[in-house]
Structure 1
Amino acid sequence: MSADFDNRAVSDWCLEHLGSPVAERTFAAGNLSVVYGLRLADDRKVVLKIRDDNARLAACTWVQRRMWQAGFPCPEPLTGPLPLGRKVASAETFLPGGEAPELADSPRLFASLLADFVTRAEGFDPQPLLRPAPAWVHWYHKEDGVWPVPDDRDVDLNAERCSVTAWVDELGAAVRERLEEVRDGACVFGHGDWDNRNVKFRDRRPLAIHDWDSVVYESEVVIIGQAAAMFEGGPTGAGASVEQTVAFLEEYQTARGRSLSDNELQLCWAAGLWVRAFNAKKFRLDNFDALGRDEAETRMRHAGI
């Protein structure tokens, strides 16, 4: 463990908030957060997540708890975010295993499960603290320029101007303009990072949804669109193909039991294109091309841009 989260500090936190000290650390992982798998002295297995404090986190835990109580496949939250050193930590039950489904099954399985998420959460109380959304969904930000502050690096994307990404800047601006009509629209609950790192299946059945810090309270077309573009995403940010996105949108409508209008479908494509453009701009800093111009133009046509 790092100096900030040594064995004693974590064990004391678990004793105070979970009623048992740590017997063993089984794994360490994480990207924006530090994530530890722990076996407690009373033999319970838990996951501890440590990150910077944020007003969204308590609302995220609130949604996770209610989804767990509703029988949705997710870890049971054991605590909300509580101080640990200069950070905050929360604990949940350990749900191991699962895998990504076969490619042919992916659109149906991912879309149906997201529709189930949105439907189950329809009666929940509004959670305005969930807005703004994380950066990759935060198209309605108030920064100067096209791009919000990234969540995973200290850089001003609006200051990173070059001929290679000028078209991505123009694309991002056009997508923001297309989405303006849902800026103040009705919101629903969903998951803003709906891809095969966080959504696990076993034998084509949902096993566990992870990363509840990515819960969002946004327009339904934004939630659908970002998922349809990214459910085959993975760490590179490359995302789903156009054909996979088409299939996802069709399967979502079937599972949700209602058809989207032509305009709603365009807005879904626009929301997905925002995530893809944001990733393309950000990952150019790593010399990685996350969105080709031909694919971008196809998605623009679908978005009515």
Structure 2
Amino acid sequence: MTFDVARWCAERLGSPVEEVLFAGGHLSRVHGVRLADGREVTVKARPDSPRLAACTTVQRALWTAGFPAPEPLAGPAVDNGLAVSAERYVPGGDPAPATEHARRFAGLLARFVALAPPATAIGTLDPPPPWTAWDHGVDGVWPAADDRADDLNAAGHATPWIDDTGARVRRRLAAFARTEAGQRRVVGHGDWEAQNLRWAGDEPLVVHDWDSVTAAPEAVLVGLAAAVWPCGMVPRAATEQESAAFVEEYQRAAGRAWTAGEVEASWAAGLWVYAFNTKKASLDGVPWLDPREAERRLVLAGA
């Protein structure tokens, strides 16, 4: 399916494109443009999903509350089979704050969760991004991949230790979901990686990738972030020490000490996204998670 960004901007934003600033994307087609009226905007086109409207509702709510979110300008609306939206372009910034990385990344996520509207007030956020979807409904350990057509559960792609890790994590999170804390969902960002955040010194400049907004138990949401938050600042996932520091700093910023079960669930959720990414990487012969580290994280998760 093709998308005419110049036509869309003229029709939906009321001004023609004067200059294309950049174009690219991974799961979406993203164009940065300067309009004839002087505005600089980012236009995103991707397959339609019922969750996108709720994602934009959350983005607008946080922008209105003063959180460093780009201002939503239009959409999402279906155009030639694609869901298209526009937001104010926020250039610049660095992928890491100047100091106290774990404290600032975790504190900003705590602020996100505190400002976000309730999950019950925004419409559906289903289906969740697959790297967060430990409780998917398909047969096998793994959901459909987000960026490739391979069936991760196919016999030809068997990776015993990775598959066992994923299965054990799912069982641990299923047990947590039956607890009181596991049934209370908050709204947050499901891809809290350094590559999606920009900083001006120690102050957050902008948070990107609002299509990754998700709803989950707080410990699960934070655990997902704790495993990946340095990605883009460094070419790897978080170390065990960095994951632990993130969870501790989040609790401090949120003003509530977690139960032992919540801490274990955060380790399980972090290991889920780590194992999911490792499963995909294994199809290309690329190492990611070490099996010895996986086992240590399983112990911390109580799995």
TM-score (norm 2): 0.94
Aligned counterparts, 1:45-124, within 5 A: 45-101=40-96, 105-121=100-116, 123=118
Q: Tell me the CA shift for residue 197 of structure 1.
A: 0.8
Q: Is the Cα contact below 8 Å between 1:37 and 1:45 reproduced in 2?
A: yes
How far apart, CA to CA, are the structure 2 residues paired with 1:107 and 1:235? 12
Deviation digits for residues 60-97 of structure 1, max 9, x if unmatched?
00110011001100100001211222212100000011
- Partner residue, 1:207: 205
Deviation digits for residues 170-199 of structure 1, max 9, x if unmatched?
110000000013267121100000011101
- Partner residue, 2:164: 170
- Partner residue, 2:249: 251
Q: Is the Cα contact below 8 Å between 2:97 and 2:200 reproduced in 1?
A: no
> Among 269, 282, 304, which residue is 2:280 paired with?
282
Range with greater deviation from structure 2 (96-105 or 84-93): 96-105
Q: Is the Cα contact below 8 Å between 1:236 and 1:290 reproduced in 2?
A: no
**Equivalent position amino acid for 1:81 in 2:** P
Q: Secondary structure at the match of 2:75?
A: coil
Q: Secondary structure at the match of 2:134?
A: coil
Aligned identity (percent) is: 48
- Partner residue, 1:216: 214
- Partner residue, 1:187: 185
How far apart, CA to CA, are the structure 2 residues paired with 1:92 and 1:68? 11
Range with greater deviation from structure 2 (285-294 or 109-118): 285-294
Range with greater deviation from structure 2 (46-55 or 100-109): 100-109
How far apart, CA to CA, are the structure 1 residues paired with 2:58 and 2:94? 24
- Partner residue, 2:262: 264
- Partner residue, 1:136: 131
> Among 9, 22, 26, which residue is 1:31 paired with?
26
Q: Secondary structure at the match of 2:21?
A: strand
Q: Tell me the CA shift for residue 137 of structure 1.
A: 0.1
The CA RMSD measured in Å over matched residues stands at: 1.9
- Structure 2: gaps spanning 5 or more residues: none
The number of aligned residues is 299
How far apart, CA to CA, are the structure 2 residues paired with 1:263 and 1:103? 33
How far apart, CA to CA, are the structure 1 residues paired with 2:150 and 2:164? 19
- Structure 1: gaps spanning 5 or more residues: none
Deviation digits for residues 138-187 of structure 1, max 9, x if unmatched?
00001110000011111110005456x21110110000000013267121
**Equivalent position amino acid for 1:304 in 2:** G
Q: Is the Cα contact below 8 Å between 1:231 and 1:240 reproduced in 2?
A: yes
Q: Tell me the CA shift for residue 128 of structure 1.
A: 4.8
- Specify whether residues 303 and 68 from structure 1 end up closer, same or farther in structure 2 by C-alpha distance, changes over 3 A only: same
- Specify whether residues 186 and 246 from structure 1 end up closer, same or farther in structure 2 by C-alpha distance, changes over 3 A only: same
Q: Tell me the CA shift for residue 56 of structure 1.
A: 0.7
Q: Is the Cα contact below 8 Å between 2:220 and 2:269 reproduced in 1?
A: yes
**Equivalent position amino acid for 1:41 in 2:** A
> Among 225, 228, 232, which residue is 2:226 paired with?
228
**Equivalent position amino acid for 2:136 in 1:** H
**Equivalent position amino acid for 2:193 in 1:** D
